[in-house]
Structure 1
Amino acid sequence: MQWTRQRDMVRPINDNVPCIGNNGLLGFDPHVYTSGRWLRNDKCQRQLRQINVNFHKLCQKIVDLFNGEKSIKDCEKKEGGFNRVFIFTMDDNSRVVARLPFPLAGPAKLATASEVATIQYLQRKTSIPIPKILDWSDDAANSIGSEYIIMNHAAGIQLHQKWPYMSGDQKVRCIDAIYRKLGEMADVNFPAYGSLYFSTAPLEPASRLPLDEGFCVGPHCGTRYWSCGDHRLGDTGLTIGAFSDGLVDAGLSRIPPRDSQLPNRPPYHGSVQTHLDLLKQGRAVLHAMSADSRVQDAASPTLFHPDLHKRNIFVSDNDPSIITAIIDWQSSSIEPAFWYADEVPDFATCAPSTSSALRVHDGELCKKAYEACTQFLVPKLALPRLMDEGMFRPFWYCYRTWKDGVVAFRHELIETSKDWRALGFGGPCPFALPTPEELALHRKEYKFFEAAQNLKHDLSSLLDCASDGWVPPDNWEAAKTENKAMFKGMLQAILENKDPDDDEPIRDEKNLRDIWPFDLPGE
């Protein structure tokens, strides 16, 4: 998640208005996304991050929380993938954070209510340090004009700021401290998959499962069940079979009712009917896999942090083995343990620092510490990490066929069917292997798919942008120019290659445009 920072000194206009800046104007626009641009669908991406917040009312809300005994002297605006954050510094130098969700973050009402409930549940059940919530609203009709969460600022310093200056031993002790805290959360047992809510949340009775102390498990409000303006909520799942049905249903919900050839849709994408047929077969495969006791053991309903990286962890500046806060609990949910086991945090894959050249490689040291801490402190996640990932891959890809193209999930089903016996599943695999002719066509399409993924990865690295094309504002013009130049250069190389290999999928300008991940002139 990229975060950039903008600052503006906020000065009161009069005794009644707490924090609007010079002549009533801010040095930043609180409504629009200004932290970056996208090389693909830039206008749409920025519109999805616009919030019609009444910033004056938000400032007044902050001051009212302190009964007028404090005023605001400074404000920072930060933006991530799913939220806009305003960090207010009060006149006594204390700080307060207001987080407002972007429209693309999911169903904002439920996502906000679930995040607050999750934080308060963890504060009751564990010793994980999470900043105190001061106020919140899941009703966009409030005076501020948006759902929001206002909380104390995290104590300490962000781990990503401290990390480059830490010794190998400090990093190991820090990783151990992180997992000792998070292990408390993973140890909590839940009766179902879904998101946490207060028992007073306005949910359908059939969609809630009561917990103790005024909480319940309700519909999953993660983004995989929701997309661009449509609410697609995953119902509470009591079994891994029900959970897999929810994944397939999410995949089906993204398929349009009628087929239309989108501009430059790659040939491996597949027709509407092809997607429908494949997901029907995939549902049967997931049901058969879900009946296996080993999968059930690895699918224990588990609550864990959804984005465990250095930017979301705060530590003591004096002793980085002391965890002072863990933030960003949006989209936290109760998932099968194997869902979280696949995620490796950035502090477990970091590059070594130059100061450690004569010592054990920092990256290897952190990786070993991560593996050991997972095994001994979070055994629910350790179990699936010891298993063949082929037992879980169809679960990971079934709900995103319309985004990835049908060939990606078909490939997983083919590999699962081929390895069915080796993976230890009983009975025949519900997915029949394609005929030799169908398999030859699939391999051709899959090479095209792999070429597209490799191209996106390489371009992202060369253009210094995210995989979705996000670049900082200062790099926007240069990245656009370089994107066009790279396309022209690659196209020239393709056209000059008069004798391409038989298995080369990219042979002409149309092929290249079909898989080019970013916008091009004339499109």
Structure 2
Amino acid sequence: MHPPSLEELAHLQDEYVRRFKGRKEKLDIVMALRDLKALQNVASQVMQKTAKEVYLIGQGGFNMVFAIQFKDGSDIVARVHGSPSLQDVDHSKEELLLRIQSEFATIRYLKEKTTIPVPEVLHLDISFVNSVGAPYSLQERIIGPRVADMKSQGMSSDQLMNVVKQVARCEAQLLQSNFDAIGSLVYDSVTTEYRVDRATLSSVRLPHNRGPWSSTADYIYSLVASQRSDLREDGWIEKRKEWLSDLNRLIASPLKDIEAEARADHTHYTSWFAMLEESLVQLDFSAFDPPNYPFVLRHDDLSIGNVLVDYADPSCVRNIIDWEGSRVVPFWLAISNQFITKYDFHDESLVAQLSGVRLDILRSLIDSFPDADTLLAMQNLVGLHTIARVKLCNLPVAIAHKAVEDFVKSRSPDEVKHFRSMIELSLAYVNPQSREMGRLLGWET
């Protein structure tokens, strides 16, 4: 497999845009507000050579990626804020600016403190009022396919195993970082120190209280409180109806009355999350916090789509990209396995083998690695975190029930009694359709 030319990458991107109805029109709106000639001029000034062409080669939830080619044949990439997905339209510039600052503080930290392969940032302009028309960065272009691309091309199990080992060593370095709070990393250019600020925006909902938080308990409570607040907002039932309608078309025994189901779900969740909040207050989470386990840096989407490998040797990791939305989290959340999932690797025996190798590497590199029982308790806490963090209007009741049911398996009998009523409530409420929707989303319900 040979690296595609910039022209080929641009052509593939154009084909991708045209596959989705309305995507081209949204792209044109965003592109009209960006000055690519100005971007080309900045690149020429920064690199001290003449840029001759700019190609759109990628789009994410928050940025567009351009390749800038120079007359001498070399190239770099520019990540320019704004995307046809329009994920940022409802957020203030202050919040967007904090997210951008945190992303580049994270990359800077990784360059200084770790050997994790990340792109070299050549130039950064975080102003919304500049010649390009949006915040942007110039970075070295890492030439390499994503693991996701190579997997579809027939990547061998041995090659995949080598990639998993390298990614696990990178994870180990993240798990060995140590911070004093939960939130997003920022860099203070005056003191030349890193500190943890409030959590930045990402593609997943965040609590109304953005932190920073000093404990697992404070963090979890703020998430649950936000879910309760969202349930009180106008429009929740309408959003629930839309989501139920979408999934209803995919299940074997569809719901007959979407309106009634949405209203019943709202009533159920209102009572259930009030009970969850009351139950959580009775628990002690300190065993999961410093000094037992540190607050550490976590890539927010360490997936096969964000790990680049070598074209000539797909078993060699070249770079880990897309650190936007990364944050400082409790150890128990960072230890969760993002890279090896049954969505990406449908062979359960392969998933088990890869997961086992990953854990062996982490155990060998991290002091005071949790034992099997503690690790299970951490995994169950991740499940609870999931239902507290996702958009509740898009969550099957069966998943919420299963997450709490699993969570209490790792708690003491005295603590379990606080959850008995809410488990009984959801067990009586969950219907076959909710269970089927949960299975569609990857949960054993």
Instruction: Provide TM-score, normalisation by structure 1.
Output: 0.64
User: What is the rounded CA distance, in whole Å, between the counterparts of 1:158 and 1:187 in structure 2?
Assistant: 26
Per the alignment, residue 221 of structure 1 pairs with 200
User: What is the rounded CA distance, in whole Å, between the counterparts of 2:233 and 2:159 in structure 1?
Assistant: 55
**Which amino acid in the other structure matches residue 115 of structure 2?**
S
**Which amino acid in the other structure matches residue 398 of structure 1?**
A
Aligned length: 406
Per the alignment, residue 345 of structure 2 pairs with 350
Partners of 1:195 and 1:221 within 8 A in 2: yes
**Which amino acid in the other structure matches residue 80 of structure 1?**
G
> Kindly tell me: are residues 225 and 287 of structure 1, through their superposed partners in 2, closer, same or farther at Cα, counting changes over 3 Å?
farther
- The Cα shift of 1:188 comes to 1.3
User: What is the rounded CA distance, in whole Å, between the counterparts of 1:128 and 1:407 in structure 2?
Assistant: 39
What is the SS of the residue equivalent to 1:127?
coil
> Kindly tell me: are residues 220 and 92 of structure 1, through their superposed partners in 2, closer, same or farther at Cα, counting changes over 3 Å?
same
Aligned with 1:97 (options 72, 77, 82): 77
- The Cα shift of 1:140 comes to 1.7
User: What is the rounded CA distance, in whole Å, between the counterparts of 2:280 and 2:127 in structure 1?
Assistant: 37
Per the alignment, residue 206 of structure 1 pairs with none
> Kindly tell me: are residues 131 and 81 of structure 1, through their superposed partners in 2, closer, same or farther at Cα, counting changes over 3 Å?
same
Per the alignment, residue 385 of structure 2 pairs with 395
> Kindly tell me: are residues 253 and 77 of structure 1, through their superposed partners in 2, closer, same or farther at Cα, counting changes over 3 Å?
farther
Deviations 1:340-394 (Å, cap 9, x if unpaired)?
Answer: 3333314896368xxxxxxxx8666534422322332356886564447434422
- For structure 1, the 5+ residue unaligned runs are 10-25, 202-211, 353-360, 458-523
Residue 75 in structure 1 maps to residue 55 in structure 2: yes
Residue 195 in structure 1 maps to residue 190 in structure 2: no
Per the alignment, residue 248 of structure 1 pairs with 224
- The Cα shift of 1:232 comes to 4.7
- The Cα shift of 1:254 comes to 3.3
Residue 112 in structure 1 maps to residue 88 in structure 2: no
**Which amino acid in the other structure matches residue 75 of structure 1?**
Y
User: What is the rounded CA distance, in whole Å, between the counterparts of 1:323 and 1:435 in structure 2?
Assistant: 44
Per the alignment, residue 254 of structure 2 pairs with none
Residue 61 in structure 1 maps to residue 42 in structure 2: yes
Aligned with 2:215 (options 239, 242, 247): 239
Residue 137 in structure 1 maps to residue 131 in structure 2: no
What is the SS of the residue equivalent to 1:37?
coil
Residue 326 in structure 1 maps to residue 313 in structure 2: no
Deviations 1:168-202 (Å, cap 9, x if unpaired)?
Answer: 4444333323322332232111111111112259x
Residue 34 in structure 1 maps to residue 17 in structure 2: yes
Question: Bigger radius of gyration, 1 or 2?
Answer: 1
- For structure 2, the 5+ residue unaligned runs are 245-257
Per the alignment, residue 166 of structure 2 pairs with 177
User: What is the rounded CA distance, in whole Å, between the counterparts of 1:238 and 1:29 in structure 2?
Assistant: 43
Per the alignment, residue 500 of structure 1 pairs with none
> Kindly tell me: are residues 168 and 448 of structure 1, through their superposed partners in 2, closer, same or farther at Cα, counting changes over 3 Å?
closer
Per the alignment, residue 248 of structure 2 pairs with none
User: What is the rounded CA distance, in whole Å, between the counterparts of 1:299 and 1:134 in structure 2?
Assistant: 35
Residue 84 in structure 1 maps to residue 69 in structure 2: no
> Kindly tell me: are residues 362 and 192 of structure 1, through their superposed partners in 2, closer, same or farther at Cα, counting changes over 3 Å?
same
Partners of 1:110 and 1:138 within 8 A in 2: no
User: What is the rounded CA distance, in whole Å, between the counterparts of 1:237 and 1:188 in structure 2?
Assistant: 17
Alignment RMSD: 4.3
Deviations 1:298-335 (Å, cap 9, x if unpaired)?
Answer: 86312122222333223344555543322111111111
Partners of 1:315 and 1:324 within 8 A in 2: yes
- The Cα shift of 1:288 comes to 3.4
User: What is the rounded CA distance, in whole Å, between the counterparts of 1:385 and 1:435 in structure 2?
Assistant: 23
